[in-house]
Amino acid sequence: MNFRNVDQYATAMQHYFTLFGVTLFLNPDKFWSATAGVMPLRYFNAVGAATTQSGFFARMTGLGFLILVLGKRLGTSNAVFAKQCNAFHAFTLKMFYDCARVTYARRQTVEFVAQTWKLQVAVNVALLLWGTSTTGGLKNMLKRD
pLDDT tens readout for residues 89-143: 999 998 888 877 775 555 555 566 677 778 889 999 999 999 998 888 777 767 7
25 domain residue, yes or no: yes
1 domain residue, yes or no: no
112 domain residue, yes or no: yes
Residue pair 93/46 in contact by the 8 Å Cβ criterion: no
pTM metric for this prediction: 0.77
Residue pair 39/112 in contact by the 8 Å Cβ criterion: yes
pLDDT tens readout for residues 15-45: 999 998 998 888 877 777 666 655 444 455 5
Domain that holds residue 28: 6-141
38 domain residue, yes or no: yes
Residue pair 46/29 in contact by the 8 Å Cβ criterion: yes
Contacts of 103 (CB under 8 A, 6+ apart): 113, 114, 117
Domain count, the chain: 1
Q: What distance in Å separates the CA atoms of residue 83 and residue 91, rounded to the nearest whole number?
A: 12
